[in-house]
Structure 1
Amino acid sequence: MTLVPFDPVRVTPEEAGRYPLLWDGDVAVIGGGSAGAAAAVAAARHGRGTLLVESAACLGGTGTAVLDTFYGLYAPGGAERVVGGIAWEVCRALTDRDAAFERLNTYGAGTGVTYDPEVLKVVWDELARGAGVAVLLHARASRVVMDGDTVCGVLIETVAGPGHIRARVVVDATGDADIAWRAGCALERPRADRVVQPLTQTFRLAGVDPVRTTTAELHRLMREHGDSGAYDLPRREGSAHRTTAPGVVHTNLTRVHGVDPTDPWQLSEAEAEGRRQSVEYVRFLTERVPGYERAFLAGAAPRIGVRESRRLIGEYVLTRDDVLSAREFDDAVARCGAPIEDHAAGRDTIWRYVGSGDTTPTGRSYGVPFRCLVPRRVDGLLVAGRCLSATHDAHASVRSMGQCMAMGQAAGTAAAQAAAGGTRVRSVDMATLRERLVVDGALL
């Protein structure tokens, strides 16, 4: 056989045909985090054959590997919940198991839902299985199959070697826009003059009495002992909040600056730096903070948390003005009331609230347009989650897991609608899509 050199990121359907066909159906979702899991459940519930591909051993992504709180479900400064649908179904399932509770965010960024990540893994398993989603774990997309400008599948690497996936619609829920990048979509990418938000290694401490030190006092101690040079604390605020387990706190303290998460060497170095910082913050907490004297490290996240990497340049780019003015859109498929939360500010974090533009929560929210999920010149593909089309500032608001689940549900519903009608995803009837989302519990 004569071997033809492959494009490193794209192959034709004929080239893909050299690999074993693992699955052929309507909707393939790549990435099983908050956005991807919600997208797959939504597509399958609308009667489409759906595959969910995830590189880890479980679903949930950042929600099960890095964090333990859903933010973005409520608009700060008010009691209004702005996310429903599958996201709220997940929260109810966790609460019914006594594995979640609501709490106010450290900075007034709205009420969050803190949960047990181990239970969340099972909840996503149950939702996917109940909807009829085919779930493939320990699998990573390596190339995109394209017929001209249309995505029609992916090649994936599995424990049994490479395989070929065919789909009428592909949803990129990878977080890093891996599929959109491989398909040649227009993207905003990290580079020296386009700094993305820093990364954070989270960890848990057990044996803590968290009520002995307020958040304000914790921040004061961090500034005092960090400024003294006794401890290397790149961030002088952050959170160490109670969890569903007694005496256990979850932290969001470390800060690894200047990293391009799409550069494998930089990402590898960031993982090591995140662990180094974690050890230093544990030393500070146990030596200087009341209530932590007998604390010990109960576990660290298996991977560093990434806030921002590649972002799609889609049919519409959500802007800072859209966020701060609480703008409405005719094609809104999700809502967000979360403030602009920009960690790329040295040791501090910049907060700007929807509807005020300053540090005053208003309880207002804005719409997230469907066009932010649609690539400009590539068909057969939608994105969902933190790789949506938004500027750096707008992204710092709309990237919360509540919005990721809402965008995922919208993308999965739209993908199912397009696959059923044989239409392009960019051409789905918007009135029908929005009506279906509302019927399914989404808040628009």
Structure 2
Amino acid sequence: METILFFNREIPVLYEVDCAVVGGGTAGAVAALSALEEKINTVIIEKTISLGGTQTNALVSPMMPTHVKGQRINDLIIDRLHKENVQTNDGTTSCSWFNTETLSYVLEELIVERGGHILYDANYVDCFKENGKISHIVVNTSNGLYAIKAKTFVDATADALLSRTAGVPVESGNEEGQNQQISFRFEMGGINIPKLRSFMKAQGDVFCKIENQDFFEIAMVPGKGHVLEPYFQKGLTDGLLKEEDLKYFQAFTQPGKRDVMSFNCPHIPAIFHTTDPMLRSKAVTKGREMIQRLVKFLPSAIPGFQHAFLIKEAAQLGIRESYRIVGKYILTEQDYLNRARFKDGIARGDWYIDVHSVKGQTIKPEPLTKGEYYEIPYRSLITHEAANLIVVGRHISSTFLMQASLRIQPTVRDMAQVAGIACAYSVKHSIDLNYIDGAVLRKQLWIREGQTWME
């Protein structure tokens, strides 16, 4: 087995591939699938033991609504979910619903079927660069350190880990250096959802407009007229809740998991920097304390929850924003306002600028209307510093505000599909990723989508 020296220590090269994807989350899994569809040898390095990242391990479901038609890999995943008897369409919204276990299984199945390699329980450590290119990465496994050699590398770590160690400059947070709020999600079972639905309707709830009995959503934000607010205020008065528990409350059903809801809360207070490892650890302990209050309060106060119980805490925090690379093009909120088009536009977004900020954001552009969108240029995925690196996910090159729009899962999947196409094009034509003309990839995408995608 080939070895390389790492701090004067020989470590074996575990894989030698065309494409190495660091991070098996929403972006990484799709980038790998796309590369495998293009018939290049691909490995995913994932720090947990399941694919899907924030979608599955942080319990972030469903996918937020978009009117932009999903690309081929997105459709491939949805079709496979349907074969697993997971309904993804609620008949009312443009959300794409799933349950976390099935999605993780489907992503793994699709990759394994195509001959892809998955290295689970492996943490990224560092990279080697030669002549402006990454030659190897180092990962830590249950058996110690190994190296992986590849022709192309995809940074799908969400925290720009590979990019930062490769010398790519990054930014973080808003103008004051503050990041978006962290959530720590959880699931409860034993919920009588028909009874909960009837109770909410009887209270005059107008938040959930979904009529499909298999889907349901509840929410409470103080001062917004939500019917649950008086019940939460009473919980505060009775000492069951604290003020911080009332800041944001939301829960969704999960198709295929009867009597279960996934909670998009609590929002962790007073954590200003998501890049600080000690603060992330503090967010876990604080979030767990808040979860325990909620799971005790709900059965005592809300009809439908009388026999409910905690069945799962997220395996990772819900991090909305941390680092963002400074790539060849920085996508900005002005591009959002302009509904920007680019010659190298390779994905489209239409989600509003959705800032869950520690401090209120003064600039809040109006949401785009149905049919309006902006494009994400290929140049926002590549860097000057590493020729064979492409970046996909919430940490592509953008401003703080623009990131709050492009970070949703459907948009991330679409940009990741192009990353796989780009890696294959690089390998087959011996052109570095950061020298490929994005307009060529746009044309490649149009050919694969089988539609006039460029119009």
> Identity of aligned pairs, percent?
26
The 2-side partners of 1:233 and 1:222 are apart by 13
Q: 1:87 maps to what in 2?
A: 74
What is the DSSP-based 3-state SS (H/G/I as helix, E as strand, rest coil) of the residue aligned with 1:328?
Answer: coil
**Residue 389 (1) aligns with residue 397 (2):** yes
What is the DSSP-based 3-state SS (H/G/I as helix, E as strand, rest coil) of the residue aligned with 2:413?
Answer: helix
The 2-side partners of 1:349 and 1:299 are apart by 33
Q: 2:28 maps to what in 1?
A: 36
What is the DSSP-based 3-state SS (H/G/I as helix, E as strand, rest coil) of the residue aligned with 2:285?
Answer: helix
Matches within 5 A, 1:273-422: 273-344=286-357, 357-358=365-366, 361-422=369-430
Q: 1:183 maps to what in 2?
A: 166
> How far 1:219 sits from its partner (Å)?
4.9
Pair 436,328 (structure 1): closer, same or farther in 2 beyond 3 Å:
same
Q: 1:8 maps to what in 2?
A: none
Q: 2:17 maps to what in 1?
A: 25
Pair 193,345 (structure 1): closer, same or farther in 2 beyond 3 Å:
closer
> How far 1:284 sits from its partner (Å)?
3.2
Q: 1:4 maps to what in 2?
A: none
Deviations 1:273-325 (A, max 9, x none): 11111112223322332322332212211221111111111111111121233
- Contact 1:72-1:337 at 8 Å conserved across structures: no
Question: Which runs of 5 or more residues in structure 1 are unaligned?
Answer: 1-11, 76-80
Q: 2:233 maps to what in 1?
A: 224
> How far 1:59 sits from its partner (Å)?
1.1
- Of 62-71 and 127-136, deviating more is 62-71
Q: 2:208 maps to what in 1?
A: none
Among candidates 116, 132, 149, match of residue 115 of structure 2: 132
Pair 201,292 (structure 1): closer, same or farther in 2 beyond 3 Å:
same
The 2-side partners of 1:250 and 1:359 are apart by 26
The 2-side partners of 1:324 and 1:238 are apart by 30
> How far 1:221 sits from its partner (Å)?
3.4
What is the DSSP-based 3-state SS (H/G/I as helix, E as strand, rest coil) of the residue aligned with 1:281?
Answer: helix
Deviations 1:230-269 (A, max 9, x none): 4224353442122222221111121114243332211111
**Residue 199 (1) aligns with residue 182 (2):** yes
One-letter amino acid of the structure 1 residue matched with residue 38 of structure 2: H
Matches within 5 A, 1:97-176: 97-103=84-90, 111-176=94-159
**Root mean square deviation, CA, Å:** 2.7
Question: Which runs of 5 or more residues in structure 2 are unaligned?
Answer: 206-217, 219-224
> How far 1:135 sits from its partner (Å)?
1.1
- Of 284-293 and 178-187, deviating more is 284-293
Pair 253,436 (structure 1): closer, same or farther in 2 beyond 3 Å:
same
What is the DSSP-based 3-state SS (H/G/I as helix, E as strand, rest coil) of the residue aligned with 2:258?
Answer: coil
> How far 1:340 sits from its partner (Å)?
0.9
One-letter amino acid of the structure 1 residue matched with residue 303 of structure 2: P
Q: 2:253 maps to what in 1?
A: 242
- Of 370-379 and 269-278, deviating more is 370-379
- Contact 1:41-1:412 at 8 Å conserved across structures: yes
One-letter amino acid of the structure 2 residue matched with residue 366 of structure 1: Y
With structure 2 as the length reference, what TM-score do the two structures score?
Answer: 0.85
- Contact 2:345-2:438 at 8 Å conserved across structures: no
Pair 441,275 (structure 1): closer, same or farther in 2 beyond 3 Å:
farther
With structure 1 as the length reference, what TM-score do the two structures score?
Answer: 0.87
User: How many pairs were matched up?
Assistant: 419
> How far 1:333 sits from its partner (Å)?
1.0
The 2-side partners of 1:299 and 1:206 are apart by 9
- Contact 1:313-1:376 at 8 Å conserved across structures: no
